[in-house]
Amino acid sequence: MTVRVRFAPSPTGPLHIGGVRTAIYNYLFAKKHGGTFILRIEDTDQTRYVPGAEAYIIEALEWLGLYTDEGPSRGGEYGPYRQSERKDMYAQYAQQLVDSGWAYFAFDSSEELAALRLEAEAAKGKFVYNHTSRGALNNSLTLSEEEVSARLASGAPYVIRFKMPNESLHFNDIVRADMTVDTGLLDDKILMKGDGMPTYHLANIVDDHLMEITHVIRGEEWLPSLPLHLLLYRAFGWTAPLFAHLPLILKPVGKGKLSKRDGDKLGFPVFPLEWTDPSTQQVSAGYREDGYFQEAVLNMLAMLGWNEGNDRELYHLDELITAFSLERVSKSGAKFDPQKTRWFNCEYLRQKTTEELVKAFTKVLATKGIETTRPAMVTTIVETLKERATFVEDLWTEGSFYFEAPTEYNAKAAKKQWKEQTPVLMEELCTVLQEAPDFSPEPLSTVVKAWIVAKEVGFGKVMQPLRLSLVGASKGPDIFDIACMLGRDESILRIRNAIATLSN
């Protein structure tokens, strides 16, 4: 068997990270088995189509390194890969099911069905359109062939429904093992609407068959549809693919499906890329724009619901391909942890080379309007601050003082460290710095510390105000490394600015 899998999203908006994880598992499975990874856009419901959504889906997959082998932008011999471009073929398959007795025309109006539902609710029951009721309803099973033909010829509204059998259906899911469903409790799903458009169920099965899909790997929200889909394969006389239904990604609290509202409330994205709603212009955050590395997002999502059976957590894409198996996917939902996602990003930042981080940090500086003529300085800053950062942007947060002199000073630090005698000490320190023969970290440290000892003042009375003067807060690496990076003139200028500002 040549493995062929598909990721089949609907272009109704941005791609949720639950959908991204489904794409990841499909991709990993295909590549591990030397198979084909297909993107199919399921856009039969044109009322929910959102402009730009398809392009967003493709861009998101490619940002993560999940390049498709076949799809709308790649082509392939099994296309077209948009269902809207395949719609003319579905009617013949619906008619085939009618002709074989597996489906029928139903002419019931929405008002008639609503009345039946209300009647059932009044009797504390539930109306189901299936073997218990279809024999008394307005369909081709109860009407004569002549009347059915007349109604179809007149353009009377209708749908085509699947004739659900009444049996115990046994089947296997790769993730959830053996299952049994009483199909007599299920309703006769609509396969084709009167406007000639198929429902998801028919189009999905026909396309999977024609595209020779061998494994359907999808979210557990589709598990209730599996009996119908298996029966459709039986009705057509086709061999069904193997199915694997993935667990939900749960809210950080552990209950309920992760939603955009959770992300908005707790301050993390639920979409891979930033998305602007074309109708409202509302902007939703994306992992890429929030500074996450694609490797970190890929790794994090792969681990949500799957593990190799050990304590390992960090994998690059090729390692995931080698290690992945559907049998190791969990049956239970995976709780999303925003802090763990940050941890993944931190780990991948530390794996980056200095050259990679310098390039990324230089782009951050450019957004701040800063063009440095000292590349060695940027390299040193990256090497100094790398261990303190989770995102590349953190290098700016932690090291902006290298590029911009402080105009404000941390109030708490100033109150604690800037005393009445501090301005005099800082002015004397300026003289020491001016006369220092070697303005590099170690010699400078020796000179300043010798002066402090000679003055018989505590080191904290000089070193802490010095840090506050150069940085604006009680943070940063070794203070003499900072002074060396700033240079003699800039360091003295900053100390005197602090004297002028804090002494008032």
For residue 271, the surrounding DSSP H or E stretch is none
- pTM (2 d.p.): 0.92
Q: Give yes or no for a contact between 16 and 271, defined as CB atoms under 8 angstroms apart.
A: yes
- Give whole-number Cα distances, 6 to 32, 216, 241, 481, in Å: 15, 7, 12, 54
What's the pLDDT at 254? 86
What's the pLDDT at 87? 87
Write the Ramachandran bin of 476: left for phi over 0, alpha for psi from -120 to 50, otherwise beta.
left
For residue 121, the surrounding DSSP H or E stretch is helix 110-122
Give the closest residue to 302 by CA, choosing from 13, 26, 14: 26
Residue carrying structure tokens 């139903």: 106
- Indicate which residue of 260, 340, 352, 449 is catalytic: 260
What's the pLDDT at 66? 98
Q: Give yes or no for a contact between 417 and 464, defined as CB atoms under 8 angstroms apart.
A: yes
CA angle 446, 451, 452 (to 5 degrees): 100
pLDDT digits (tens, 9 = 90+) for 200-252: 999 999 999 999 999 999 999 999 999 999 999 999 999 999 999 999 999 99
What's the pLDDT at 1? 79
For residue 209, the surrounding DSSP H or E stretch is helix 200-210
Token couple for 96:
């085939």
What's the pLDDT at 45? 80
Residues 6+ apart with CB under 8 A from 81: 38, 39, 40, 41, 70, 71, 72
Q: Which domains does the chain carry?
A: 87-246 (3.90.800.10), 405-502 (1.10.10.350)
- Give whole-number Cα distances, 389 to 183, 367, 374, 395, 486, in Å: 55, 19, 22, 6, 21
Q: What is the pLDDT along the chain (504 residues), one digit of tens a residue?
A: 799 999 999 999 999 999 999 999 999 999 999 999 999 999 888 788 999 999 999 999 999 999 999 999 999 999 999 998 998 899 999 999 999 999 999 999 999 999 999 999 999 999 999 999 999 999 999 999 999 999 999 999 999 999 999 999 999 999 999 999 999 999 999 999 888 889 999 999 999 999 999 999 999 999 999 999 999 999 999 999 999 999 999 999 988 999 999 999 999 999 999 999 999 999 999 999 999 999 999 999 999 999 999 999 999 999 999 999 999 999 999 999 999 999 999 999 999 999 999 999 999 999 999 988 888 999 999 999 999 999 999 999 999 999 999 999 999 999 999 999 999 999 999 999 999 999 999 999 999 999 999 999 999 999 999 999 999 999 999 999 999 999 999 999 999 999 999 987
What's the pLDDT at 504? 75
| Catalytic-residue membership of 260 | yes
CA distance linking residue 323 with residue 287, whole number of Å: 25
Q: Are strands 177-182 and 190-192 parallel, antiparallel or unpaired?
A: unpaired
CA distance linking residue 236 with residue 109, whole number of Å: 28
